[in-house]
Amino acid sequence: MAKKVSSTREKSECRFCRSKTNYVDYKDIETLSRLLTQRGKIFSRKRSGNCAACQRKVQLAIKRARYMALLPYMN
C-alpha cells in the first residue's frame, strides 16, 4: 500500500502583493524591464513569481509602456 504524501507547499506572495501595490505603473521602466526577456517577451507567471491578478496588471502596464514608446515591442 502506497503512502499518501500531503502536498503542502509554502505559500509565497509575489513582489507586488508583498509591497501592497494596487497599481503597476507603466512609467516604472526599471521594474517592468526586469519582467521581460532579452527579446522583449513577457515572462510567464511561473518564471516571474507573480500571482494571477498582479500578472494581469503587469501585462497591461507593459503593453501601455510599449504603446507610449517607453519599452520596445521587440529587440
Summarised one tens digit per residue, pLDDT across range 9-67 is: 667 788 999 999 999 999 999 999 999 999 999 999 999 999 999 999 999 999 999 99
The structure's pTM equals 0.81
Question: Are 73 and 66 a contacting pair, CB within 8 Å?
Answer: yes
Cα atoms in the Cβ-side hemisphere of radius 13 Å centred on 30: 0
CA dist., res. 60 & res. 65, Å (int): 9
Which among 38, 40, 32 is positioned nearest to 15, based on CA atoms? 32
pLDDT at 74: 86
